Structure 1
Amino acid sequence: MLDKQSPIPIYVQIEERLKSQISDGRFPPGAAIPSERELTEAFGVSRMTVRQAITNLVNEGLLFREKGRGTFVAVPKVEQPLSGMTSFTEDMLARGMKPSNQLLTFGKRKPDKQVAEELQLEADEEVFFVERIRYADSIPMAIERTYLPVKLFPELNEDVLAGSLYVFVEGTARLKIGGAVQKMEAALVKREDAELLHVETPFSVLIIERISKLSNGVPFEVVRSTYRADRYKFTSEIQR
């Protein structure tokens, strides 16, 4: 029962009750919590009060909503160091998680001016455009939109994209990856991306743009990724 005479707001009491149930394992990671209607009846409060409590827990990253399905306990965030250059597949395997992909788009196209400049391409050169949803343990983590010069990877196909692109680059294509320049910013998810990531708008995401180069300095990849902010946290080690 809630203490309605307490100076602690009711929605805060509900938050603390749900946090306790999450920490003691009643609602493990990935499990659905009761619906707003069920919580309203259980606590004897208004639906608005319950919704405020749930929204606060979503903002804290303890819960997440999936459109049409309900509200679930969040899996602990994947901690991604900003130093070093690894693929999504390599990252997830290193954390004991099972990576998978859903290929949305694959084909050749003429790049726009910005991508052509970033890949140092001539006006008539084409790129492969790859759009994938990246999953870890069947949970959507990010959307990747990648541009690759056709002249560097003429054998690229859908089978390759089921796994690690970097394994293909350094294995089949026998090219050595050097490094990358990467930019990151926070944003609100676009409506079309929200559906792919199974989140409701408004929702915070991390936008990462990377230009990757071979060891000889030739750019081989431009990738623009949209990461769920409730799934990722990025760390860096710095020294004065």
Structure 2
Amino acid sequence: MIDKTSPMPLYFQIEEAIKQKIDKGEWESETMIPSEREFAENYEVSRMTVRQAINNLVNEGYLTRRKGKGTFVSAKKIEQKLLGLTSFTEDMKSRGFRPASRLISFQKTTAENRVAKALEIKEGQVIYEIRRVRLANDIPMAFETTYVPADLLELNESHIKQGSLYSEVENAGFVIDYATQSLEASISGEAESEILEITKGAAVLLIKRQTYLTTGRPLELVQSVYRGDRYKFMIDMKR
């Protein structure tokens, strides 16, 4: 229960009570929590107070709202260490998840200035543009847009649907060397929210990767939107 005589705000006390239930395992991942009305009646507080507590926990990643269904305890985040260059498929398999991709679009197009610079090709040169939803155990994890120079290798839709792009590249005789990657925090727009099955304005990670072959030539430019409630990146640091 909460202490109304405490200097601690009521919404904060409710947050802590919910966190304790989650941390102790009383409420497991994917459990639907009580409604705002039930919380308000139980704690004898206003629904506005309850809503503030729940909003804060959604923003922190403890809870997830599902449109038309309710609010649920978030699933444990998948951790990826920022060491070594692996594909999404390889990374998910190494963690015991079942990786899959849902192809949104696959087309040949011409490189605009920004993409051409990243791939070190001429503006207007033909490239592959691949948009995919990456899934782990059938749960959408990321919305990914990949650009690959069309003169580098021949790709078709079945290649992309069946497996990893990196496997196709290596099967074609190329050797992948390294990548540079940047991460930044953002919030989801309407399109990403619908594709990733999250609420509009939810926390996401924007990731940009440029991958290079051993020849020094850029292989791809990848721009991804990762769900902030399901994914986190880790790095080990030594002094």
In 2: Cα distance, 1:239 partner to 1:13 partner: 38
Tell me: CA distance 1:224–1:156, structure 2 relative to 1, closer, same or farther (3 Å).
Answer: same
Query: Deviations along 1:185-214, whole A, 9 cap, x unmatched?
Result: 222222221222222232222111111111
* Per-residue deviation, residues 113-165 of structure 1 (Å, max 9, x unmatched): 11112212234531111111112222221111101112223133234334221
Contact 1:130 1:145 in 2 (8 A): yes
Unaligned 5+ segments in structure 2 are none
Q: 1:239 to 1:25 in 2, by over 3 A?
A: closer
Give the TM-score normalised by the residue count of structure 1: 0.90
Which TM-score applies when normalising by structure 2? 0.90
Does the 8 Å CA contact 1:180/1:211 hold for their aligned counterparts?
A: yes
Return the alpha-carbon distance in structure 2 between the equivalents of residues 60 and 122 of structure 1.
Answer: 43
Letter in 2 for 1:131: R
Paired residues, number: 239
Secondary structure in structure 1 of the residue aligned to 2:11: helix
CA distance in 1, matches of 2:143, 2:168: 20
Question: Does residue 96 in structure 1 map to residue 99 in structure 2?
Answer: no
- Secondary structure of 1:4's counterpart equals coil
2: CA distance, partners of 1:196 / 1:170: 30
Consecutive unaligned residues in structure 1, runs of 5 or more: none
Residues 106 and 158, structure 1, Cα contact 8 Å, conserved in 2:
no
Q: Is the 8 A contact 2:133 2:143 kept in 1?
A: yes
Question: Hey, what's the Cα distance between the residues in 1 that align with 2:113 and 2:123?
Answer: 9
Equivalence for 2:196 = 197
TM-align CA RMSD: 2.0
- Residue in 2 that maps onto 1:169: 169
Aligned to 2:224: 225
- Measured in 2, the distance between the counterparts of 1:204 and 1:104 equals 22
In 2: Cα distance, 1:111 partner to 1:35 partner: 49
- Per the alignment, residue 81 of structure 1 pairs with 81
CA contact (8 A) 2:99 2:136 kept: yes
Alignment of 1:20-169 (within 5 A): 20-169=20-169
What is the alpha-carbon distance in structure 2 between the residues aligned to residue 197 and residue 160 of structure 1? 19
Q: Tell whether the 8 Å contact from 2:59 to 2:203 is kept in structure 1 after alignment.
A: no
CA distance in structure 1 between the aligned counterparts of 2:173 and 2:3, rounded to whole angstroms: 67
Distance (whole Å) between structure 1 residues aligned to residue 155 and residue 104 of structure 2: 19
* 1:221 shift after superposition: 0.5
C-alpha distance in structure 1 between counterparts of 2:99 and 2:38, whole Å: 34
- Residues in 2 aligned to 1:187 and 1:8: alpha-carbon distance in whole angstroms: 30
Per-residue CA deviation, residues 49-89 of structure 1 (Å, 9 max, x unaligned), is 11111112222221122333322211222222222111111
The one-letter code matched in structure 1 to 2:94 is A
The alignment partner of 1:216 has SS state of: coil
Higher mean C-alpha deviation, range 23-32 or range 153-162: 153-162
Distance (Å, rounded) in 2 between the aligned partners of 1:194 and 1:235: 24
Distance 1:99 1:10, change over 3 A: same
State the alpha-carbon separation in 1 of the partners of residues 229 and 49 from structure 2. 23
Q: Percent identity?
A: 46
SS of the aligned residue for 1:158 comes to helix
Letter in 2 for 1:89: T
Q: Distance in 1 between matches of 2:25 and 2:235?
A: 31
SS in 1 for 2:146: strand
Answer yes or no: is the 8 Å Cα contact 1:63–1:71 preserved in 2: yes
Q: Which deviates the most, 104-113 or 120-129?
A: 120-129
- Find the counterpart in structure 1 of residue 13 from structure 2: 13
